[in-house]
Amino acid sequence: MLKTLLPYVASFAVASIGMIGMRLTAGPERGQRLAGLFVGVAIIAALFAVPGFAWTAAGPLNRIGHIIIGAVLVGASLDLVKPSNLWRWVVLGLFVLGCGWASAVNTLIPKITPSLGQLGLALALAVIWLGIILRFTMPQAHKPTKLVVLIAAVAGIAVLASIAGDVALVTIALSIMAAVFAFVVCAIVLNIELNDSATLPIASSLVAMAWALSQRHPEALLGLGILTLVLFAERTARRVPMPQGGIAAYLYLCVLAGFCGIPILIAAVLVSAAVPA
């Protein structure tokens, strides 16, 4: 039982202790900005306890760890340096191109010349990666709203992986959720910001997990397509009339969570029908 829960306990504990320690030792301004990097650090720590995961670059499952490490480094650098918009785009562009390239050709340095199909796939994956990252790093986005959508998207990956029987991917997804829940608790208590340090590893892992699921279980492809609707549930939730007063904000988050659940349910039904008996 303890071994089964170890990835989730490790993820929650490392994230909580790291964020509290950073917030207390780095001061109110820098501590708030950089505490979120322990979300990614916690996920990396949890990967050591994931069954079937190995720290090699080969294969879409194992590459998730390398992508998260890169996302942690890039996110922390952006939060620490606070570059201009131009350099921010350059850094993010190079990062997503690297992720797309490695995922398409299965390595950063191929031994043979990649085909035009691989190059096109790498570019398409990079565009998707950039779109997902920008979806959760736009400064004007509401922090609780982003967290609800992030949790729903990760939960959707976990549901589809569970239906496909992919224990390793389920464990990774739930470990990410544990780290996000730790962030929610620390954000409420310590007012920690949801900066690039926190959002980049989660957003990047979403694409990495979806790619791994599609490669390991092609029958989940249609469900993954439906699952992308979770990212747009906020637009629908905003149209629901809300009562006036302080309860409106909490009610809106509940409504948003409900709308996020609809595509997850549809995707789950489609994947259940597609998975071989």
pLDDT digits (tens, 9 = 90+) for 140-190: 566 788 889 999 999 999 999 999 999 999 999 999 999 999 998 888 888
Whether residue 1 is predicted with pLDDT greater than 50 in this model: the reply is: no
Mean predicted lDDT score pLDDT of the chain: 86
More confident residue, 260 or 104: 260
Which residue in this structure is represented by tokens 């789950």?
268
More confident residue, 51 or 63: 63
Which one-letter amino acid corresponds to residue 240? V
Contact predicate 97/145, CB 8 Å: no
More confident residue, 78 or 58: 78
Which residue in this structure is represented by tokens 């090699």?
56
What backbone phi and psi angles, to 5 degrees, belong to 160?
Answer: -65, -40
Q: What percent of the chain has pLDDT over 70?
A: 93
- Kindly give the interhelix angle for 60-81 and 196-216, rounded to the nearest 10 degrees: 160
pLDDT at 208: 93
More confident residue, 253 or 247: 253
The model's confidence at residue 126, banded by pLDDT at 50, 70 and 90, is very high
* DSSP secondary structure string for all residues of the chain: -HHHHHHHHHHHHHHHHHHHHHHHHS-HHHHHHHTTHHHHHHHHHHHTTSTT--S-SSSHHHHHHHHHHHHHHHHHHHHHH---HHHHHHHHHHHHHHHHHHHHHSSSS-SSPPPHHHHHHHHHHHHHHHHHHHHHH-TTS-HHHHHHHHHHHHHHHHHHHHHHT-HHHHHHHHHHHHHHHHHHHHHHHH-----HHHHHHHHHHHHHHHHHHHHH-GGGHHHHHHHGGGGGHHHHHTTS---SSTHHHHHHHHHHHHHHHHHHHHHHHHHHHHS--
Q: Cα angle vertex 227, ends 68, 151, to 5°?
A: 50
Whether residue 226 is predicted with pLDDT greater than 70 in this model: the reply is: yes
pLDDT at 246: 65
Q: Cα angle vertex 36, ends 30, 38, to 5°?
A: 115
201/118 Cα distance (integer angstroms): 25
Contact predicate 43/201, CB 8 Å: yes
131/152 Cα distance (integer angstroms): 17
